[in-house]
Amino acid sequence: MSSGILTSARLRLPGRLRSAYIPVLATAGLLAAMFVAGGVRYTGFASGQVVLNVFIDNAFLLVVAVGMTFVILTGGIDLSVGAVVALSTMVSASLMTDGGWPPLLVVPLVLLIGSALGLAMGCIIHYFDIQPFIVTLAGMFLARGLCYVIGTDSISITDPAYTAVAQARIALPGEMAVSVSVLIAVAVAGAAAYVLHYTRLGRNVYAIGGSEQSALLMGLPVARTKIAVYTISGFCSALGGVLFSLYTLSGYGLNALGMELDAIAAVVIGGTLLTGGSGYLAGTVLGVLVLGLIQTIISFEGTLSSWWTKIFIGLLLFAFILLQRLISARRA
């Protein structure tokens, strides 16, 4: 199955570019293989809804990972995403529940806060020439800290409109359904892929990842692009937070703990280089699906103790990465 995808792609793609797509194609093939293996092993696994559930359960992660893709493509990293997700849920919940604000006001405000935070971090990173790791780590502390300042308890969201959106299911043929979040996430991923491939901003992102020095000397707007990238990541995290609050209908300061690592892992599993300049958004989508599918397999397995769960996740991850690496290395 996987080799079929690869060979057909080989026929179509022009000369050398083929090798650049191989990691993504390998990932897609392996993902499909993983799904088939799951279907063979567990009853009820091989259904369309299981796949859709992976999307429903990971819509927020997908959005966050999309933002992270931009950052990583420039060779940076954003550790603040998980905390910004939590902050967004907290701000949304407290404003709507305690403040009685309407969602139509709250959501734009939350998106604005996230973007502003990203913008600020981007500016510090660029103008003061400080490593992204440390700046975004400070951003992570800040956002998480603000959550606790708002409150240490979790807050339910009871706004009827918000609840209605959260519970709405868009029916698909075959008795399947997806949530609104999935549509948003897919739209964001599509838009991001377009931006990365078809706009100057996107190409500048790749150029900076290839070599920031060269990009500067080629007369590209390095400052603007770098700052934009962190702003996008901030925006995506805030949007991820909104989706998260739709998912759980609550806000909580300990939400999304460690999500930055999940997002980074998704991006990197998708074949993007952490050093920047190489990778595709499609890879990120696949990376998120891989992580989601691993989770699903674990819950279908159903008999693993807490520690075996972790060991099993590690093993699955290892098997996946190893195969991906071997396939890519052979074909390249």
Partner 1 sequence: GCGSGGDTTASAGGADDGKITMGFAQVGAESGWRTANTKSIQESAKAAGIELKFSDAQQKQENQIKAIRSYIQQKVDVIAFSPVVESGWDNVLKEAQTAKIPVILTDRAVDSADTSLYKTFLGSDFVEEGRKAGKWLVEEYKDSTDTVNIVELQGTTGSAPANDRKAGFAEVIGAESKFKVIASQTGDFTRAKGKEVMEAFLKSNPDIDVLYAHNDDMGLGAIEAIEGAGKVPGKDIKIITVDAVKDGMQALADGKINFIVECSPILGPQLMDLAKKVVAGEQVPARVLTEETTFTPEQAKAALPTRPY
Partner 2 sequence: MAPPAPILQMSGICKEFPGVKALSGVDFRLLPGEVHALMGENGAGKSTLIKVLTGVYDIDGGRITLNGQDVVFAGPLQAQQAGISTVYQEVNLCANLSVAENIFIGREPRRLGRIQWKRMRRRAAELLAGLDLHIDVSAPLSSYSLAVQQMVAIARAVDISARVLILDEPTSSLDSGEVEQLFRVMRRLKAEGIAILFVSHFLDQIYEISDRMTILRNGSLVGEYLTSELGQVELVGKMIGRELADLEKLEDRPPARTSEPLVQTEALGRSGAIEPFTLTVHKGEVVGLAGLLGSGRTEIARLLFGADHASTGALRIDGEPVTLRTPRLAMNRGVAFCSENRRAEGLIPDLTVRENIVLALQAMRGWHRPIPRRTQDELVDKYVAALNIRPADPEQLVRNLSGGNQQKVLLARWLILEPRLLILDEPTRGIDVGAKAEIQRLVAELSDGGMAVLFVSAELEEVLRLSHKVAVLRDRKLVAELPNDDGLTTGVIMETIASGGRA
Partner 3 sequence: MTALVRHRLFWPAAVLLLLLAANVAFTPGFLSIEMKDGHLYGSLIDIFRFGAPLILVAIGMTLVIATGGIDLSVGSVVAISGALACLHISGLPDQNDVGGVLTAVGLALGLALVLGAWNGFLVAGIGIQPIIATLIIMVAGRGLAQLITDGQIVTVNSASYKLIGGGYWLTLPFSILIVLAVLALTAFLTRRLALGMLVESIGGNATASRLAGIRSRGLTVAVYAFCALCAGIAGLMISSNVSSADGNNAGLWIELDAILAVVIGGTSLMGGRFSLGGTVLGALVIQTLTTTIYSIGIPPETTLLFKALVVTVVCLVQSPAFREKVFQRRGRRRPAAPQATDDEKVEVPA
Binding region for partner 3 (CB under 8 A) out of 26-34, 58-66, 214-222, 301-309: 301-309
Least CB distance to partner 1 at residue 151 (A): 9
Residue number, 156 or 328, with CB nearest to partner 3:
328
Of 257-286, which residues contact partner 3 (CB under 8 A)?
Answer: 261, 264-265, 268-269, 273-275
Unique residue bearing structure tokens 């092993």:
41
Q: Under the criterion CB under 8 A, does residue 198 sit at the interface with partner 3?
A: no
Q: How many residues bind partner 1 (CB under 8 A)?
A: 47
Q: What is the amino acid identity at position 20?
A: A
Cβ closest to partner 2, residue 163 vs residue 278: 278
Q: Is position 36 an interface residue for partner 3 (rule: CB under 8 A)?
A: no
Binding mask 224-263 for partner 1 (x = CB under 8 A): --------------------x--xxxxxxxxxxxx-----
Contact stretch for partner 2 (CB under 8 A) within 40-48, 82-90, 215-223, 310-318: 215-223
Exactly one of 278, 295, 309, 328 binds partner 2 (CB under 8 A); that residue is: 278
Size of the site for partner 2 (CB under 8 A): 28
| Contact call for residue 302 and partner 1 (CB under 8 A) | yes
- Residue that is written with structure tokens 């079929």 in the block: 4
Residues 156 and 97: beta-carbon distance below 8 Å: yes
295 binds, among partner 2, partner 3, partner 1, none (CB under 5 to 8 A by kind): partner 1
The site map against partner 2 for 175-214 (x = CB under 8 A) is ----------------------xxxx--xx-xx-xxx-xx
Quick note: the x/- pattern for partner 3 over 142-161, rule CB under 8 A, is x-xxx-xx--x---------
Q: Is 12 in the site for partner 2 (CB under 8 A)?
A: no
Question: Residue by residue, what is the 3-state secondary structure of the chain?
Answer: CHHHHHHHHHHHCCCCHHHHHHHHHHHHHHHHHHHHHHHHHCCCCCCHHHHHHHHHHHHHHHHHHHHHHHHHHCCCCCCCHHHHHHHHHHHHHHHHHHCCCCHHHHHHHHHHHHHHHHHHHHHHHHHCCCCHHHHHHHHHHHHHHHHHHHCCCCEECCCHHHHHHHHCEEEECCCEEEEHHHHHHHHHHHHHHHHHHHCHHHHHHHHHHHCHHHHHHCCCCHHHHHHHHHHHHHHHHHHHHHHHHHHHCEECCCCCCCHHHHHHHHHHHCCCCCCCCCCCHHHHHHHHHHHHHHHHHHHHHCCCCHHHHHHHHHHHHHHHHHHHHHHHHHHC
Under the binding rule (CB under 8 A), the answer on residue 94 touching partner 1 is no
Q: Closest Cα partner for 37 from 46, 29, 28?
A: 46
Residue 134 to residue 118: CA distance in whole angstroms:
14
Contact of residue 291 among partner 3, partner 1, partner 2, none (CB under 5-8 Å per partner type): none
Report the alpha-carbon distance of residue 274 to residue 59 in Å, rounded: 23
Which of residues 39 and 221 has its CB atom nearest to partner 2 in the complex? 221
By CB under 8 A, which span of 39-47, 117-125, 219-227, 298-306 interacts with partner 2? 219-227
Residue 303, phi then psi, degrees to nearest 5:
-120, 5
Residues found near partner 2 in the complex (CB under 8 A): 14-17, 20, 197-200, 203-204, 206-207, 209-211, 213-222, 277-278
Residues found near partner 1 in the complex (CB under 8 A): 44, 47, 49-50, 53, 56-57, 60, 93, 147-148, 152-158, 163, 166-167, 244, 247-258, 295-296, 298-300, 302-307, 309-310
